[in-house]
Amino acid sequence: MSDTDDREHADHPDASQYIVIGIILAVFTAIEVAISFASVPSEIAIPALIILTVLKFELVVLWFMHLRFDSGWFRRRFEFGLASGLIVYAAAIS
């Protein structure tokens, strides 16, 4: 490995940080399942599920797809796709 490769990967997290992110994702999923099975009014459940979905999307994209460490241009493309998807979803359910 060259010196350049060492500098490129110096900011990447170690395995313990990925485990923490995995636990956070599992907790978010458990909350989503609990909301789905509980008698939560749809006025609360739907926005809560959408927010949790967006948070999970951001965590997966930023950490597991390593966009946190890439150019901001890539991150903006994914965020544009997320925003576009939310707009299409909102138009479809309205």
pLDDT of 21-43, one tens digit each?
A: 899 999 999 999 999 999 889 89
Quick: pLDDT tens for 71-91: 777 778 888 888 898 899 889
Give the pLDDT confidence score for residue 4 in this predicted structure: 53
pTM of the predicted model, to two decimals?
A: 0.69
Q: What one-character-per-residue DSSP string does 28-85 give?
A: HHHHHHHHHHTT--HHHHHHHHHHHHHHHHHHIIIIIS-GGGS-HHHHHHHHHHHHHH
C-alpha closest to that of 11 among 90, 62, 68, 50: 68
Read off the pLDDT of each residue in 45-61 and give the average, rounded to a whole number.
Answer: 89
- State the Rg of the chain over Cα: 17
